[in-house]
Structure 1
Amino acid sequence: MFRPFTCILGLFLAADAALAGPWPRAPGTHFLSLALESPSDPQLAEQSYTSLYYEYGARNDWTLGLDIGADTLGYGKAIAFARRSIWRGDRARVAVEFGLGSQAAFQGTDVALRPGISWGRNVTLLGRHGWMSADATLTYLPRLRRAIGKLETTLGVTLGADSKILIQFTAEQETGKPATFTMTPTHAQAIGKSSFLTTSVILSPDRPARFKFGIWLQF
């Protein structure tokens, strides 16, 4: 039986992370992710959407970025953010961020204020380099007086220079609505010196499975 909330807590307590996380981008470097997500049921194809995620490494451990697409609740968003590391240990980091943009919710679309905090550390699994991270955000919509809380944990392993696998557990809830849980296993295969092709399956206990195909570019 799929128990996503238990898995999330397990990973939370328990890097070259691809998406988000507390690791800053090197100054002057870029990361871009483009993805297409579609339901497994062809009759729901109109619910497909594309997403864009971008990070730029600024100076002094600052990372600037854009998060455009839809969340696990199916609501569109377009948010610019700034993230900075605030603590660094031998293998772990903590970062805080603030985002500003637009977010849709059940009652409509509003200006979005999105503070967040990230924790992550490098790990070794079966003799291979890996990482685990937890990212928590709270998106506040002042005009609608709504909030959307999100916790996403990631466990990833680098299989070799050309291959990575990772699994993400996500819990998300809008004010007055039931929480949504998803589990997303992903395989990333190198298709160039600094690019990866990604294939994912998004699983949820209360909605049909979705497929996600994307590309990561680092430059």
Structure 2
Amino acid sequence: MRSLVLTSLLLADSALAGPWPREMKGIFLALSTERDAEGSSYAALYGEYGLRPSLTLGMELGRSGADETSAMFWLQRALDRGKGPDRWALSFGAGVVERGGADIPVGQVAVSWGRGLETVPLLDRIAGGGWLSAEIRAKAVAKLKDEAEIERLAADGVGILAYITPETSIKAEATLGWHATSSWTFINQLRLEDREDWGFSASLASSAVRDILGPAKLELGLITPLSGEGELALKIGCWLEL
């Protein structure tokens, strides 16, 4: 199987906004790296900033083992008024992908929903609490590659194709987060994606997050393919919330 798709922007973890906006002037930063069973890798710097009570500015800078660099910026607006159990948000993003000396524009749109576990029947019995969320995201890129380039990359190893941004993709994610203790959080996320270049795939991303010092947290995760293209991958990250 080809490598797990790691270049999808907006990697969803518990500290990422989801449908919940950042507090005004609140800052979140995450530095992470992922490496799969074939030795391919992806590194990213992710950030969020609370512009207004209902408006969050986000960004991600990424570099893949396929010599592709990406930058994405987006605005996320809360669609609810902060009342009731449900949270809804809509975001629009734009950025650029650089490969082979060419800068190619990219855009995305996403809708997300979430609830605290205390408002979800049956799950409200889980000690410590947590959250349940879902998101669907569509991304489109100007034409990046031709058939000759795909054949050349495949000759180097089909896994590397996973690190080439597809021209179009639709991704859905469902996340269950659990605050097991005051210093440990566990996250399970089902990821479904349909790419124009290789079709549908599904994976399960599981992470453990530990408070280490002040506002800093350490994340260790495993990404397991369930269907379609994919390889087992390890993720390590450090979060900072201010």
The normalised TM-score by structure 1 is 0.80
**1:102 aligned to 2:99?**
no
SS of 1:55's equivalent?
strand
Distance 2:232 2:33 in 1: 14
1:117 aligns with 111
Contact kept, 8 Å, 1:17 with 1:23, in 2: the verdict is no
Provide, for residues 73-131 of structure 1, a one-character-per-residue CA deviation record: whole Å limited to 9, x for no partner. x97532101001011442220000000002479xx973111111110110135222110
1:209 is the counterpart of 2:232:
yes
CA deviation after TM superposition for structure 1 residue 146, in Å: 3.4
Alpha-carbon distance change, 202 to 34 in structure 1, aligned in 2, over 3 angstroms: same
CA change 1:29–1:156 in 2 (3 A) is same
1:61 aligns with: 54
Q: Tell me the TM-score normalised to structure 2 length.
A: 0.73
The percent identity for this pair of structures is 28
- Does the 8 Å contact 1:116/1:137 carry over to 2? yes
Going from structure 1 to structure 2, the CA distance change for 1:172 and 1:134 (only over 3 Å counts) comes to same
Q: Is the 8 A contact 2:219 2:238 kept in 1?
A: yes
Q: Which residue does 1:149 correspond to in 2? A: 170
C-alpha contact (below 8 Å) 1:156/1:164 kept by paired residues: yes
Q: What is the Cα deviation at residue 32 of structure 1?
A: 0.7
Q: CA RMSD in A?
A: 2.5
Deviation at 1:143, TM superposition (A): 4.6
Which sits farther off after the overlay, 50-59 or 139-148? 139-148
For the Cα contact (< 8 Å) 1:125–1:157, is it kept in 2?
Answer: no
Q: Which runs of 5 or more residues in structure 1 are unaligned?
A: 1-15
Residue 28 of structure 2 is matched in structure 1 by 31
Seen in structure 2, the aligned counterparts of structure 1 residues 138 and 54 have a Cα distance that, compared at 3 Å, is same
In 2, the alpha carbon distance for the partners of 1:70 and 1:137 equals: 21
**Structure 2 spans left out of the alignment, 5+ residues:** 1-12, 118-123, 145-165
Match of 2:76 in 1: 83
